[in-house]
Structure 1
Amino acid sequence: MSIDDCGNHDRCKVRRLYLYLAAGALIVVFLILLTILIIWLLLFRPTRPEFYLQDASVQQFNLTAGDSNALTFVLNVGLSSRNPNDRVGIYYDKLDAFAAYRGQQITGCTALPFGYQGHHDASVWWPFLVGEGVPLAEYTAVAMERDAAAGLLLLDVKIDGRLRWKAGPWTYGHRHLHVDCPASISVDHGTGTSGSSAPSFHFRQTTSCTVDV
């Protein structure tokens, strides 16, 4: 039986009133949520942080190809991060840096100092990335030996971490952070006074990093 067919006319009026109130409440809630969404998109939608690899200095490089295929590698890198947002701050809850070659991790993870990064603030880190006797796949060791002999090592400095956004009094997000910084390192095979080969390594240029949040 429809509302218009109610036997009690007063009861039909009450039902209509409840329906109108419920519909009005839904419209109000919808408008509030729409307003919040518009404010979020216009004011507080965060932009991912920017990362740069500023320097990469090879302190030790010892590759034993053959049966062991082991690598001892020490890399000192200069990393910088910038928050490009006007109204959103960033809390870095965890940051671990390491080096990789052709998809294989060749150093251990080095923890970077983390904390809050305000609007348009920048941070700079100079960690040492160390790998001692790291076992390499045979094809990886052969490729690295060939690249070093050819005079160019193409590495990746990576950062894994977690971050949160801060807009006004609200902190939200809990997002995973993945950063990949390509590093082109020239290898110069010089000759020392004793006649032995003494390669030197030179970082080519500052590079921007790929950031995935």
Structure 2
Amino acid sequence: MSAPKDCCRNRRRTRLYRLLFALFLTFIIAILFVILVIWLVLRPTKPRFSIQDATIYQFNVTAPNILSTTLQVTLYCRNPNDRIGIYYSKLYVYASYRNQQITLPTVILPNYQGHNDITVWSPFLYGSSVPVSTYLTSALSGDENAGFIPVSIKLDGRVRWKVGTWISGHYHISVNCPAYMIYSPGSAIRLQQPSGCSVDV
């Protein structure tokens, strides 16, 4: 008598498990479909940065392996999204030369960038008596003789996305802008031409 009862119980369990699995699978597919629809409607795109101008007023080896730098950069940033605003919670801008940081980070104050808005920042960057490697000082001498100094302007900070009244959590943003500088003895070192930046969010 117990065998038929056990068989019925097993069938019921099997049906229950299949039903739960089908419900779970339907739930996952529905979530993925909603995400796909939201993505197709919003088309989220990273902000676009470029360096428009840069002038180095001081770029001197003041002692063995000590570099002092003063420069001003003009950064152009555009939000290419039609339906998404961007909050820049805080951005730090600094200069590097041959992958070594040569200025202190300069803070760009928090601001909001609306749909398709453009923002321009022109911060000064300072590095007073920064210790650098021996390789860097010899490379600088060679670059000055060649009349060309490769400097990178980097931004590091956090952003939030705004869609309607909804605001996302913080996301890390990292921007790298190569600035190809023309060196001429006795004059300020100027940017060769505007250049785009790589952006990681």
TM-score exceeds 0.5: yes
Aligned to 2:104: 108
Larger radius of gyration between Structure 1 and Structure 2: 1
Q: Superposition pairs for residues 166-205 of structure 1, below 5 Å?
A: 166-189=162-185, 198-205=186-193
Q: Which amino acid aligns with 1:78?
A: T
Aligned to 2:122: 126
Q: CA deviation at 1:28?
A: 5.2
In structure 2, distance between residues paired with 1:136 and 1:34: 50
Aligned to 2:54: 56
In structure 2, distance between residues paired with 1:202 and 1:21: 69
Alignment of 1:74 with 2:62, yes or no, is no
Distance change >3 Å, CA 28–CA 63, structure 1 → 2: same
Q: Which amino acid aligns with 1:94?
A: K
Q: Which amino acid aligns with 2:49?
A: F
Q: CA deviation at 1:35?
A: 2.9
Q: With the length of structure 1 as denominator, give the TM-score of the two structures.
A: 0.81
Aligned to 1:83: 79
Asked whether the 8 Å contact 2:156–2:173 carries over to 1, the reply is yes
Aligned to 1:159: 155
Secondary structure of 1:95's partner? strand
Number of equivalenced pairs: 199
Secondary structure of 1:48's partner? coil
In structure 2, distance between residues paired with 1:188 and 1:140: 19
In structure 1, distance between residues paired with 2:102 and 2:17: 66
In structure 2, distance between residues paired with 1:58 and 1:173: 37
Q: CA deviation at 1:42?
A: 0.6
For structure 2, the residue ranges without an aligned partner over 5 or more in a row are none
- Computed over aligned residues only, the root mean square deviation of the Cα atoms, in angstroms, reads 2.6
**Identity across matched positions, percent:** 42
